[in-house]
Amino acid sequence: PEDFNAPRALWEKVFDDGAKERFINNVAGKMEMCNNKEILKRQIAIFREVSDDIATRLEKATGIKGYDGIANLTFNGTYNGMTK
């Protein structure tokens, strides 16, 4: 979906390896503060829409396997416009 084009370009074309590592460390560090694994799985799924690489790195950093994407998820009972 179009919503993820800009962050995907940032990840793939702007960030160098060091920036990517810092990003993952920062996000994973904040994710540690959440003890609800369902929320973390969903957050990883949203990052997966940007890049599989981000999601895989976050899964490794957090030890939590996220969902494959957001197409089959419901958010607060609202319609998910990203369904396929």
- pLDDT, tens digit, for every residue of 58-68? 999 999 999 99
What per-residue confidence (pLDDT) applies to 78?
A: 61
pTM exceeds 0.85, yes or no = yes
Token readout for 45 is 């799924």
Across 1-11, average pLDDT? 91
Pick the closest to residue 58 from 30, 38, 18 (CA basis). 30
Q: Residue 25 has what pLDDT?
A: 98
Band (80; pLDDT cuts 50, 70, 90): low
Q: Are 58 and 28 in contact (CB under 8 A)?
A: yes
Mean pLDDT along residues 69-77:
80
The distance of Cα 74 from the centroid of its chain, to the nearest Å, equals: 16
3 state SS of 77: coil
The pLDDT, as a whole number, for residue 73 is 83
